[in-house]
Structure 1
Amino acid sequence: MSSDERRDSLADQAAAWVPPWQRPTPPSAAPVDLGNSVPPEGPELPKISDGPDAACEAGAEDGATSAGESPVDGAPAEEVPAEGALAGKSLAEGTPAGVGPAGGVPPGESPAEGGSAKRSVGRRRPAPEPAPELDDAELRGALEAILLVVDEPVSELTLAQVLEQPAERIGPVLDEIAAGYTAAGHGFELRRAAGGWRLYTRPEYATYVERFVLDGQSVRLTQAALETLAVIAYKQPVTRSRISAIRGVNCDGVIRTLVSRGLVEECGTEPDSGAFLYRTTTMFLEKLGLNSVHDLPPLAPFLPDDVEELADATR
């Protein structure tokens, strides 16, 4: 067969072809009009003639009957929305999609709210339980026990933090303890020193304490060291040249001794000359039993009567 004859044959076949939905329905596949009749005990399957086109026709007819009307009375069957319609309806009505176990969000809670709530709960830490408040007797005993083992004055704030009690309770209790020791006539007393509280022996028993501690070994400051320390205590901050000018002698070696003993420390430089400035330390206040340098006794009672004449003579 030539190519022209093959093309004509294909064209004739295409022109003669009729789609299945336009072909006449076979008598065996015609739809059955049930009307209002009651279906038999068991549903009968439609009789479908052989051939693919007839099967397609029967499937289309059956689908139309089941979806469009009830097989019993011909009334329209209840329309079941598609899955997409359900999803759209739920979103429109405000019901979150994916509610329940599949969505991972509890019922009645939107996904955004649920996620943020879970995250905020995860970050929130439970508030620590407040420490129980001690009664006066227990607080007094705890303070006395701590003060017996400290090696330097301890502040009220530190005591309050250790005992987990309000800071305003510590001061009055310490004053009460100190007054009780004084009234009872103990050989020690509780007093403020260097910004804190510490137990000290009473001055009237100093000779016995000194005899026990020193035991024949005297470790005292020299007269030069005491004079230099007094000048620094009353004139601080002060330079070495100023100390030497007041004492009339070079006191570099004495200052080094006081620094090594922990009684004096450097505290910067003088702006004009750049010389080092010196001041007393907390150990100095602790050794003297003072709370601050403002508690030092005034110098006026210890000055000679002719101090002005001596000052004029030295000029």
Structure 2
Amino acid sequence: MSNEERRDSLADQAAAWVPPWQRSAPESVAPDPAPDPVEAEPVEPDRAEPEPAAPESAQLTAPAAVESAEPADPAPELGAAGDLGAEVPLEGSPGAKIAEEGAGRRQRGGRTRVVPEPPPVLDDAELRGALEAILLVVDEPVSELTLAQILEQPAERVGPILDEIAAGYTAAGHGFELRRAAGGWRLYTRPEYATYVERFVLDGQSVRLTQAALETLAVVAYRQPVTRSRISAIRGVNCDGVIRTLVTRGLIEECGTESDSGAYLYRTSTMFLEKLGLNSLDDLPPLAPFLPDDVEELADAAR
């Protein structure tokens, strides 16, 4: 073959050559042609299986084919409070049900936060009768604050009414009286009728304290808090048995321990004030009139 023929043959081959990306695929493996984006049917939102995605070349050439088939969210509407950021869910949707449940909870919460109505204010006569009824059943002095809380009345009203009741009993000459004791109020029989009351209550039984118990109780009352050893040193005898008796009867009680020795400390109880008719320990009579003249000499001798 001559050179000219060879050049013609190479030119014909070059003219007939087709690049690989432009060559047609075999019929057995040829993919379906991509549908026209304009004529393609819209995808139904409730279809169970999603449609296969379009080829990448179709996505580049037809942007409309990749748009979501679901309808766009509606424009936000004004909320219940008028804010632009609140969205109103469609009626019948899950969001609407959740919103209704939340509104119900807020309503129920609003009912629980309702301020209760103030208690009715009792007039003086009704308040007086209520106080007298309570004081007849108490077994220990009750404070004005406790009475005010029970009756749901201001404490400033309870105190003056109690004073009026006490003054009325005294003026009427009843066999009982209302007086303060141990920080509270209680009804007591009058001292002039104590003989008859004692005869009825005791009925031949003696409940008086012994001389040793009275002396020990006096030491605790004026030197409290005090330890057993200190009580024994003041009286000059062992007081363990007497102290147990006073604790059993509720006239004295333990109130901690001494920091140095760790011994138990004792003080008088509320029953002690109640039995003696005292409102506080400040009502105890002073000891100075009962002390001997040579008390300083006795103290020096004890040292």
Is residue 232 from structure 1 mapped to residue 217 from structure 2 by the alignment? Answer: no
Is residue 272 from structure 1 mapped to residue 257 from structure 2 by the alignment? Answer: no
Q: Residue 277 of structure 2 aligns with which residue?
A: 289
1:265 and 1:100, CA in 2 relative to 1: closer, same or farther beyond 3 A?
A: same
1:92 and 1:189, CA in 2 relative to 1: closer, same or farther beyond 3 A?
A: closer
Deviations 1:10-58 (A, max 9, x none): 98xx9xxxxxx9xxxxxxxxxxxxxxxxxxxxxxxxxxxxxxxxxxxxx
CA contact (8 A) 1:233 1:279 kept: yes
1:121 to 107, 114, 117: 107
1:314 and 1:105, CA in 2 relative to 1: closer, same or farther beyond 3 A?
A: same
RMSD of Structure 2 on Structure 1 (CA): 2.8
Larger Rg: 1
1:173 to 161, 167, 170: 161
Aligned equivalents of 2:88, 2:265: Cα separation in 1:
77
- Which secondary structure state, in structure 1, belongs to the residue aligned with residue 180 of structure 2? strand
1:92 and 1:123, CA in 2 relative to 1: closer, same or farther beyond 3 A?
A: closer
Q: Residue 162 of structure 1 aligns with which residue?
A: 150
Is residue 307 from structure 1 mapped to residue 295 from structure 2 by the alignment? Answer: yes
1:122 and 1:300, CA in 2 relative to 1: closer, same or farther beyond 3 A?
A: same
Q: Residue 11 of structure 2 aligns with which residue?
A: none
Q: Residue 190 of structure 1 aligns with which residue?
A: 178
Q: How far did residue 310 of structure 1 move?
A: 2.9
Aligned equivalents of 1:243, 1:98: Cα separation in 2:
83
- Which secondary structure state, in structure 1, belongs to the residue aligned with residue 71 of structure 2? helix
Deviations 1:226-246 (A, max 9, x none): 000000000000001111111
Q: How far did residue 130 of structure 1 move?
A: 2.1
Aligned equivalents of 1:92, 1:116: Cα separation in 2:
19
Code of the residue aligned with 1:120 in structure 2: it is R
Query: Which has the higher mean CA deviation after the structures are superposed, 256-265 or 182-191?
Result: 182-191
Structure 1: which 5+ runs fail to align?
Answer: 1-9, 15-20, 22-81
1:117 and 1:97, CA in 2 relative to 1: closer, same or farther beyond 3 A?
A: closer
Deviations 1:187-245 (A, max 9, x none): 21111111211011122222221122112211110000000000000000000111111
Q: How far did residue 115 of structure 1 move?
A: 6.3
Q: Residue 89 of structure 2 aligns with which residue?
A: 98
1:92 and 1:274, CA in 2 relative to 1: closer, same or farther beyond 3 A?
A: closer
Code of the residue aligned with 1:254 in structure 2: it is V
Query: Which has the higher mean CA deviation after the structures are superposed, 174-183 or 247-256?
Result: 174-183
Aligned equivalents of 2:102, 2:292: Cα separation in 1:
81
Deviations 1:77-98 (A, max 9, x none): xxxxx9935x43x327858453
Code of the residue aligned with 1:293 in structure 2: it is L
TM-score by length of 1: 0.66
Q: How far did residue 297 of structure 1 move?
A: 0.9
Q: Residue 71 of structure 2 aligns with which residue?
A: 84
CA contact (8 A) 1:97 1:103 kept: no
1:219 and 1:97, CA in 2 relative to 1: closer, same or farther beyond 3 A?
A: closer
Is residue 151 from structure 1 mapped to residue 139 from structure 2 by the alignment? Answer: yes
CA contact (8 A) 1:189 1:201 kept: yes
Code of the residue aligned with 2:219 in structure 1: it is V
Code of the residue aligned with 2:241 in structure 1: it is G
Structure 2: which 5+ runs fail to align?
Answer: 1-25, 31-35, 37-68, 79-83
Is residue 131 from structure 1 mapped to residue 126 from structure 2 by the alignment? Answer: no
1:213 to 184, 201, 226: 201
Is residue 249 from structure 1 mapped to residue 237 from structure 2 by the alignment? Answer: yes
Percent identity between the aligned chains? 78
Aligned equivalents of 1:100, 1:189: Cα separation in 2:
75
Aligned equivalents of 1:273, 1:212: Cα separation in 2:
47
Number of residue pairs the alignment of both structures matches: 231
CA contact (8 A) 2:77 2:87 kept: no
TM-score by length of 2: 0.68
